[in-house]
Amino acid sequence: MEKPLILVTNDDGITAPGLRALVRYMKEIGDVVVVAPDSPQSGMGHAITLDNTLYSKKVTIDTENGGTEEYSCSGTPADCVKLALQELLDRKPDICVSGINHGSNSSINVIYSGTMSAAIEAGIEGIPAIGFSLCDFSWDANFEKAGDAIKRIVREALDKGMPQGVVLNVNIPKLEGKEYRGIKVSRQARANWKEKFDKRISPMGKEYYWLTGEFELLDKGEDTDEWALANDYISLVPTQFDLTAHHAIQNINNWNLHE
């Protein structure tokens, strides 16, 4: 039987250790093609390139076991998926996996995430997709600990299928000296960033700003991704790209919108 074709992408760049780990895991499951940004694209959300040209080139990074077909792209994570599907792949992938991101994409962070936007772009095109993130921003983070769980989730998605219009947002806690308690299907926690700008003056006398802030959890529920992570579980949130607030339609229909 033909092996599943797995498209691998990310937002930290094609050389990021998290992506290299994900490539190794996916090669145990199927045929892998990598299309990823040529430089870090964190926080790009679902941005696409409209006012500039896109460049892509075939690169050789992984030389083990015959190597991996890989392409670097000058665009955003969403651009990478679009280019892969329209130009670079000779058949539709069976699944798209994005990550492993250096840092959490739980709760409100999913809105800003290039990692998840790449997965969502694949989902829009009808391809099962999963974004993986490790709650550790360091470049040399330990991605090996979660390898078995990541492979289990991908194999289950390929075997069982995924609901239409849904992609999975998987976040993995950083654990030292202990094991994960399991994988918990969760909802997105309500949270926000209390943001502020650190205003500075450049040597040329111009004002500039660094965005800073603190994460503010507004949700005490024990069924959320933040609760799962805080309690040593891997969180798995089914995420949809239909942004309609269906529960609000009846309420809005009661407004006097017609004269």
Annotated binding site for a divalent metal cation: 11-12, 42, 101
Q: Taking a C-beta distance cutoff of 8 angstroms, is the pair 159, 170 a contact?
A: no
Of 80, 3, 70, 74, the residue nearest 34 (C-alpha): 70
Binding-site residue ranges: 11-12, 42, 101
Q: How many CB atoms lie within 10 A of CB 67?
A: 10
Rounded distance between C-alpha atoms, residue 6 and residue 71, angstroms? 14
Give, as one character, the DSSP assignment of residue 112.
T
Rounded distance between C-alpha atoms, residue 181 and residue 207, angstroms? 48
C-alpha dist (Å) from residue 232 to 147, 225, 228? 16, 11, 6
Place of tokens 């069982």: 160
Of 20, 183, 189, the residue nearest 99 (C-alpha): 20
The phi-psi region of residue 161 (left if phi > 0; otherwise alpha if psi is between -120 and 50; otherwise beta) is left
